[in-house]
A and B are shown apart, each in its own frame.
Chain A
Amino acid sequence: MPERFSFARLYAVMLKEFIQLMRDRLTFAMMVGIPIIQLTLFGYAINGDPKHLPTVVVAHEQSPFARSIVSGLVNSGYFDVISTSARDSDADTMLAEGSVQFAVTIPADFSRRLLRGERPQLLIAADATDPSATGNAIAAVQQLANTVLRYDLTGPLAKLAPGQPPFDLVIQRRYNPDGVTSYNVVPGLMGVILTMTMIMMTALGITREVERGTMENLLATPVRPLEVMVGKILPYIVIGAVQVCVILTAARLLFNVPFVGNPALLILGVMTFISANLFVGITVSTIARSQMQAMQMTFFFFLPSILLSGFMFPFRGMPVWAQTIGEALPLTHFLRIARGVMLKGNGIVDLWPHLWPLLIFIAVVLVIGLKRFRRTLD
């Protein structure tokens, strides 16, 4: 007569895993540290809000307006003007070699045409190789255009001030004309971090028991596969939740990512997504023969998740075959849920189309895992 599922045994496994996890300081530190490090690195690299970007100003005229513009740029915090006496050719070279991020060109007859109300051009050339680095700075310049000359254009000149900016801001994104929408990345990053850590930690779960020789002992007890698998992942759901809190706090403090939706819905999405990843991990660990193999399989799953989920490349821009693979990956659906809730304020009705694929994914992976879990040492 086979044993029935027992919550007492499930609890026993969970408790044991939790103690082991807490005792493994390095792993535990990694679980909390990885999100912070990745978010800081990735976040700034991909989508940060970097300030004090080196800027060269090519001033073809020295005028109060030109000076106001330069100080306006500096005061915005995004620009560090390293030279105001460069020539056009110098600026081009500096941009090309990457020693400056921006080249601002004030044309020769700027003041004259401004005063005539001819809306002269102010040219800002940006090295947009990494669009995320320049995105916020450019946004700041656009703000600035409206206000920078407010104090210069007083008295008789006040008629030039209202309405549209008194000059025409021409922004040239060099090297990468399309920018990336900045807020998209933090929810995506949350998904990527959860995918990586959740799968990696649990993928080692069963192979570790095999390699340490504790599996034989475990199998000799009445514990059942489902109890082992679920018991091993439950502590990590807590860890995942901690990671999410860390990421969201950091997103708020470091990147000012807005949160317009219902937090409860995000929690629902996050929990479903975490479970999906944990079951992938534990299933990997029932298949892998060594911890090394488990790591390799984790990366085998991780790479398409990053590349085809819409995190790296816009989903609609991918070929159909890649979209098909993408639809089968939990990260794809999580990205839609997280972005939907955080940025668009989606409700449950909007989210359901992305939630059920996750549930099906969990069911399929769980069945594979249970089938693969060897109850004997054969």
Chain B
Amino acid sequence: MSNISAPAVDVQDLTKRYGDKTVVDHLSMRVEQGEVFGFLGPNGSGKTTTIRMMCGLLTPDGGSGHTLGYDILRESAAIKREVGYMTQRFGLYEDLTIRENLDFIARVYRMDRRAERIAGAIERLGLQDRAKQLAGSLSGGWKQRLALAACMLHEPRLLLLDEPTAGVDPKARRDFWEEIHKLAADGITVLVSTHYMDEAERCHRLGYIAYGRLLTLGTPAELIAASGFETWRVGGSGVNALVRELEGKAGVDMLTRFGNDLHVSGIDGAKLATAIAPFRQRTDLHWEQSAPQLEDVFIQLMSQSRDNFAGSDKRA
């Protein structure tokens, strides 16, 4: 049964296999009501599959869960009524106009005051002049916004957005995130998947998934703290040479280029300090301790998990 105070999403040990490949592997997580939850992971890590299971579009091979308090295995009809799901691929009809698409959705949800709601949605989109344009003729960013408007039309309590910003230009991405935060302020829970690391910081809480496993869960600050990462930012003309010298050194777990700067990170602060000590005095470099980037944390997590997988493969 639906429960107003239940977590928006609460799944345990979700597992999905395709053939002998485990695409989602014992994934457990909760999304609290009203938060913007970022679901991060590289391509093919199982984000879409997990979201589909959460809204009852895929039957898990193992595990259980509730979305808005409804059982994901048995109450998918109720979930569909109260969840807005925006598919990764544009899911509206390209050969229908903007208005026709919205009208179809409104009818399928059997909504009252259809004309009014559609007019409102089109106005919020700022597409009054183009309501008669075919959806297929819109640019990527506009398609994304239209799809969001369509899945908001039936006033869902939970939005599941699957890579809504993929292939959208930076300005449109920024606008999109503004929109998401506005919705969250209105009390709507938003779960948004992305493989853009820079979008992680915009979420209240994050889950990071790789190879079908949830590797970590928490607020951005928690994730950085938990990683134990220390990061030094290095600038100056000697940076290019430094990369080669630091590569593979004990204590240096990650080297990332950010424009002219180099980020040198390690899990063990002491080891990292020892490793970089010989280079600290170089005149063509200037060192500065900095806050670790979420991106570094995730990349580190991923390379660790890849090692784990490689290990388990050998054992198998």
Residue pair A8, B77 in contact (C-beta under 8 Å): no
Residue pair A15, B104 in contact (C-beta under 8 Å): yes
Interface residue? A155 (CB, 8 A): no
**Interface secondary structure of B, over-half rule:** loop
The contact of B107 among A9, A213, A220, by CB within 8 Å, is A9
What's the nearest-Cβ distance from chain A to residue B113, in Å? 14
Q: For chain A residues 178-234, which have a beta carbon within 8 Å of chain B?
A: 212-214, 216-223
Q: A217-B87, A223-B108 are in contact. Are A212 and B52 (CB under 8 A)?
A: no
What's the nearest-Cβ distance from chain A to residue B103, in Å? 8
Interface residue? A3 (CB, 8 A): yes
Q: What are 20 A-B interface contacts by the 8 Å CB criterion?
A: A1-B77, A3-B77, A8-B110, A11-B107, A15-B104, A16-B96, A16-B100, A16-B104, A19-B96, A20-B96, A213-B89, A214-B91, A214-B93, A217-B92, A221-B109, A222-B77, A222-B80, A222-B81, A376-B56, A378-B58
Q: Can you list the 5 inter-chain pairs with the closest CB atoms, starting with the nearest?
A: A217-B91, A12-B107, A213-B89, A220-B85, A221-B108
Interface residue? A62 (CB, 8 A): no
Interface residue? B78 (CB, 8 A): yes
The contact of B87 among A20, A213, A223, by CB within 8 Å, is A213
Residue pair A24, B108 in contact (C-beta under 8 Å): no
CB within 8 Å: A-B pair count: 78
What's the nearest-Cβ distance from chain A to residue B261, in Å? 40
Interface residue? B178 (CB, 8 A): no
For A9, what are the chain B residues with a Cβ–Cβ distance below 8 Å?
A: 107-108, 110
For B127, what are the chain A residues with a Cβ–Cβ distance below 8 Å?
A: none
What's the nearest-Cβ distance from chain A to residue B9, in Å? 15
- Total contacting residues, chain B, CB less than 8 A: 30
Residue pair A220, B55 in contact (C-beta under 8 Å): yes
Residue pair A213, B108 in contact (C-beta under 8 Å): no
Interface residue? B295 (CB, 8 A): no
Residue pair B77, A2 in contact (C-beta under 8 Å): yes
For B55, what are the chain A residues with a Cβ–Cβ distance below 8 Å?
A: 220
Q: How far is the CA of A102 from the CA of B87 in the complex (A)?
A: 69
Residue pair A376, B107 in contact (C-beta under 8 Å): no
Q: How far is the CA of A376 from the CA of B77 in the complex (A)?
A: 11
Q: How far is the CA of A13 from the CA of B96 in the complex (A)?
A: 13
Q: A1-B77, A221-B109, A222-B77 are in contact. Are A214 and B57 (CB under 8 A)?
A: no
Map CB proximity to A onto B71-100 as digits: 1 under 8 Å, 0 otherwise: 000011110110101010111111110001
